[in-house]
Chains A and B, each alone.
Chain A
Amino acid sequence: MIKLDHVSKVYKDSVVALDGVNVDIQKGEFVFIVGPSGSGKSTLIRLLIREEEPTKGEIFVAGKNIASLSPWKVPYLRRNVGTVFQDFKLLPDKTVYENVAFALDVIGKQKHVIKSRVPEILDLVGLGDKLQHYPDELSGGEQQRVSIARAFVNRPLILLADEPTGNLDPATSVDIMKLLDRINRTGTTVVMATHDNAIVDAMRRRVIELTGGKIVRDQERGVYGYGA
């Protein structure tokens, strides 16, 4: 589903974010990307949605080489890859329902599709009773659920999460992880960048550890770190 082949990313000021990274992620896997700040986790996520292009190497997402993808095809790649961020990225002047509907509306989905799918997905994330609330009326955990609903409403093949629990307390984080686990069980590949060791240790899923832009560990059913 995702394959990185000797991928390097060097920024203009010659900062090396990724250095010869090889990763192979199968369909339906749940993968943690761990490592200290600046180790290249976010760069990896940004490369997977072609927010940035690699300096060297090839990246395959859902069978397509996205390093050489022409710009007009990028939106269609992103429709297959849902993204969730630490800061939720919700629109404050839109309700929960409108925030999720927006994602379908702007990719040209029909009204009746939006009307049936949005309440359905919001039920799935446990917000079926808060459709008409605005983001600032919700807790952090609830806001992140909206953001996950928005990322998942178009049934992407892959869900990328960049520090999704970074702004949440441990109990709420556990709920979010349960939700991501449920999404993963529907067959969606989930890749989550995090430095929340408690979560990684509890989940016991594949762990890829980056340090200084290099993979230093790639372990099935791993924990956050040897020292943890």
Chain B
Amino acid sequence: MRRFDFFLRETLQAFRRNGFVVFAAISTAFIALFLLGGAVLVQREVNLIAQSVEANVEVSVFLSDDISGAQTSNLQNMLNEMPQVASVHYESKEAAYQEFKRLFHDQTTLVQNVTPDALPASFQVQLKDPNEFASIAQQLQGQPGIANIRDNAHIYDRLLAVTRIFRIGVLGVAVVMLIASAALIANTVRMAVFARRREIGIMRLVGATNGTIRTPFLLEAVVEGLIGAAAALLALMIMKVAFIDPLRNNIAFVPLVGSNDLLVAGIWIFGIAVVVSVAGGFFATRRYMDV
């Protein structure tokens, strides 16, 4: 195969020649990939919150700290006997603390300031039908030792409903922008192809393979996409440091997306950038490849 420095030289030359158009393509790719990364992060934030409210357990019955052993077993029996209840699981203060530590592992100050004693024990109840919450709550009302009853299923539903429009909207705009950036990248490649049509003609004449002819153009497209991706990831990192990290010790009890989630968003951004730019480059060079 041909030497890499040849391809690189050709690519840099193309950038110099069509600076403005290349800039437009890269900026569009940047915005599209930034939105895509944002949508990925929002999705992961929703999942984190969903985990923290234990959405798979529909009802949490939190017990007051002064509950007696007899009252606890009494409540458990009562729950077990309710026809609407599918299963009941007792979560001790210690178990609640372990779960808390797992969810908020990145908020050290918060974890340090919370002792196992501070978290309530609870019954995690699953219902046969999540809509039966009201009747359960009514029956439990006034029982001794109950601090609070929470309808997790509906919290999760509301969370999903509120974020759905946002997520779909951002993803929709991202997809449109991705198509636009593929078209703009294709356009820069087409200009490069046009500027080098004499070379291409001679390359075909002397028996250069399609791969050899095409590679510098695809490389140009991919480099444009990757620059856009790097800028998008950088912007997301800045957003995280500037806006999300300061929240970490201010809003307690809400888990926030962290570096792991940013890594996942980065993988998406770079993957999609390569796919989009190769598609654009392929499209732009296709009609010149007919022998």
For A80, the closest partner residue in chain B by CB is: B207
Contact partner of A91 among B3, B199, B210, CB < 8 A? Answer: B199
Query: Is A154 engaged at the interface, CB distance under 8 Å to the other chain?
Result: yes
Residues of B150-204 contacting chain A, CB below 8 A? 198-199, 201-204
A76, B209: Cα distance in complex, Å: 8
A190, B210: Cα distance in complex, Å: 27
Q: Are A105's CB and B2's CB within 8 A?
A: yes
For B200, the closest partner residue in chain A by CB is: A106
Interface string of A90-121 (1 = CB under 8 A from B): 01000000000011011110010000000000
Contact partner of B202 among A49, A102, A111, CB < 8 A? Answer: A102
Residues of B204-254 contacting chain A, CB below 8 A? 204-210, 212-213
**Among A19-27, A55-63, A67-75, A163-171, the stretch in contact with B:** A67-75
For B289, the closest partner residue in chain A by CB is: A71
Query: Is A217 engaged at the interface, CB distance under 8 Å to the other chain?
Result: no
Query: Is B1 engaged at the interface, CB distance under 8 Å to the other chain?
Result: yes
A72, B209: Cα distance in complex, Å: 7
Query: Is A206 engaged at the interface, CB distance under 8 Å to the other chain?
Result: no
Query: Is A155 engaged at the interface, CB distance under 8 Å to the other chain?
Result: no
Query: Is B6 engaged at the interface, CB distance under 8 Å to the other chain?
Result: yes
Q: Are B205's CB and A107's CB within 8 A?
A: no
Q: Are A107's CB and B198's CB within 8 A?
A: no
For B291, the closest partner residue in chain A by CB is: A74
Interface residues on A, range: 20 to 34
User: Nearest Cβ distance between residue A122 and chain B, in whole angstroms?
Assistant: 16
Query: Is A78 engaged at the interface, CB distance under 8 Å to the other chain?
Result: yes
CB-CB under 8 A for A106 and B198, given A49-B205, A76-B207, A78-B204: no
CB-CB under 8 A for A150 and B291, given A91-B198, A91-B199: no
Contact partner of A72 among B208, B210, B212, CB < 8 A? Answer: B210
Q: Are A83's CB and B205's CB within 8 A?
A: yes
CB-CB under 8 A for A89 and B208, given A71-B291, A105-B2, A108-B2: no
Q: How many residues of B contact A (CB 8 A)?
A: 19
Q: Are A107's CB and B201's CB within 8 A?
A: no
CB-CB under 8 A for A106 and B208, given A89-B201, A91-B198, A91-B202: yes
Query: Is A41 engaged at the interface, CB distance under 8 Å to the other chain?
Result: no
Contacts of A9 in B (CB 8 A): none
Q: Are A89's CB and B205's CB within 8 A?
A: yes
A102, B203: Cα distance in complex, Å: 8
Q: Are A108's CB and B202's CB within 8 A?
A: no
A103, B204: Cα distance in complex, Å: 10
Q: Are B207's CB and A107's CB within 8 A?
A: yes
Q: Are B212's CB and A108's CB within 8 A?
A: yes
For B212, the closest partner residue in chain A by CB is: A106
Q: Are A105's CB and B207's CB within 8 A?
A: no
Q: Are A106's CB and B291's CB within 8 A?
A: no
Contacts of A77 in B (CB 8 A): 207
Contacts of B213 in A (CB 8 A): 106
Query: Is A79 engaged at the interface, CB distance under 8 Å to the other chain?
Result: yes
Contacts of A151 in B (CB 8 A): 206
Q: Are B1's CB and A150's CB within 8 A?
A: no
For A99, the closest partner residue in chain B by CB is: B202
Contacts of A50 in B (CB 8 A): 291
Contact partner of B206 among A51, A72, A150, CB < 8 A? Answer: A150
A78, B212: Cα distance in complex, Å: 15
Q: A49-B205, A79-B206, A83-B205 are in contact. List 8 more A-B contacts (CB 8 A).
A: A74-B291, A78-B205, A89-B202, A91-B199, A102-B206, A105-B2, A108-B2, A154-B207
9 pairs across A/B with beta carbons < 8 Å? A50-B291, A75-B208, A79-B206, A102-B202, A106-B2, A107-B207, A107-B212, A108-B1, A111-B3
Shortest beta-carbon contacts, A-B, top 4 = A78-B207, A79-B207, A106-B208, A103-B206
